[in-house]
Chains A and B, each alone.
Chain A
């Protein structure tokens, strides 16, 4: 499939328009749900850490430290990507699958258009902006943690901010964004594959969306393990 995706290119002006459209649908369209989830999951992470921190010898700044580490290392890049596999992945599979069922892909091919490039390439390029979404998720996750921990009275604001900066390793950010780029590629290609090569009718479009979500999640989880093993161990 990738040979076709990066094969004969669609006209540049058309491609540019398609890429902006995909960014609008896939990235901008996901801002709401990602922001909502990030803020509240960040809050819950801080809350859980605070509630389980019963030992008086452990400093309260650990709440911020734990929230930061879990949000930057795993929650924002991995958990949000699984959510995106459900939201964006299913959308990609069903939209391409519907085009397959209604012969729209055949129509592109008959016109002499490289349908894989026309349909999938803009999605891959649009997903290059996915790390911005993850950056927003990280920020809002930490804001959620701050709100829950400080406003909830578990830790003073200055101690939280001190914990947030404790033993901060910029390499962790590199690791998080490196895997985000890989997840972005997976989120664009695996659902596209399931949509493009599906067979059958409307019912099968639904089945393909479900299969696509399962496989995208599986590939993300396994890739996450491999990347973590390679970059952090």
Chain B
């Protein structure tokens, strides 16, 4: 569980986060949604320890990040997995080497054991046959799956995903969403996903934080997000023509 309390962050004189309180629950896919510039990425980067908050605390399973020394912070980072928007795979390494990288860096296992674990994870993301390929030789969706495999290979406690569906076709996007959700349940981890994609909200939105102008404007789950009367949320949710038409059709009883 990650608990954010009164989180504030500014850059120069611009206040990006204006006091966020939210609990990201374990075993659930926690979504951060909101328009561009609402502070989603800053919130995630603060949770990753890449930004130091101006005010407020971030607690990982009850322990405040600010109370950690450098060694504890490093250990915590080893318990985190991150899926970057573009995958951020090391392009000079093969798929297998990419997935093995965190294991090589932080474990003292023998090569055979490392390979077994990598094979297991690649099989889990349905990429058993692509181990010897380079990232440039596989599709965008496959790259995302490799990035997920790399993020979970060390059995992290926290998984962060920055717009995992960007640049993917709807079918592949659904595959990625479902994979993230399945792994969250299977490994019982705290997963935090930034997304703009309302299909993702429908698929995996178990605990949603809606940010607007650096403030937590709404929270709930996928069953409530399409039913709320909160105008700030409905403006965002129904900014998509497709969802607007579905809502109108429902209202007309079609």
Contacts and interface: CB of A to CB of B under 8 A. Distances in A.
A112 B74 contact: yes
B84 interface: yes
A126 to B, nearest CB: 16
A111 B89 CA distance: 13
B105 A10 contact: yes
B85 interface: yes
Interface string B74-108: 11111010101110111100000000011011100
B82 A110 contact: yes
B105 A11 contact: yes
Contacts of A8: 74
B88 A104 contact: yes
A106 B105 contact: no
A181 to B, nearest CB: 28
A14 interface: yes
Interface size class of chain B, counting residues whose CB lies under 8 Å from the partner chain: 20 to 34
Given A102-B86, A106-B88, A111 B77 contact: yes
B74 A106 contact: no
Contact of A107 (B75, B84, B106): B84
A113 interface: yes
Contacts of B73: 112
A8 B78 CA distance: 15
B92 to A, nearest CB: 8
Nearest to A103: B88
Nearest to A118: B105
B242 interface: no
B50 interface: yes
A112 B78 contact: yes
Nearest to A98: B91
- Which residue among A98, A111, A113 has the maximum number of chain B CB atoms within 10 Å of its CB? A111
A138 to B, nearest CB: 33
A110 B80 contact: yes
B78 A109 contact: no
Given A112-B77, A112-B78, A107 B88 contact: yes
Interface string A14-51: 10000000000000000000000000000000000000
A199 B80 CA distance: 26
A150 B112 CA distance: 60
Contacts of A110: 48, 50, 77, 80, 82, 160
Contacts of B80: 110-111
B247 to A, nearest CB: 36
Contacts of B90: 99, 104, 107
- Which residue among A8, A103, A106, A112 has the maximum number of chain B CB atoms within 10 Å of its CB? A112
A63 to B, nearest CB: 47
Given A106-B50, A107-B82, A109-B50, A14 B88 contact: no
Contacts of B106: 11, 111-112
Given A11-B105, A104-B90, A110-B82, 11 more contacts: A102-B86, A102-B88, A102-B91, A103-B86, A107-B84, A107-B90, A109-B50, A110-B80, A111-B77, A112-B74, A112-B75
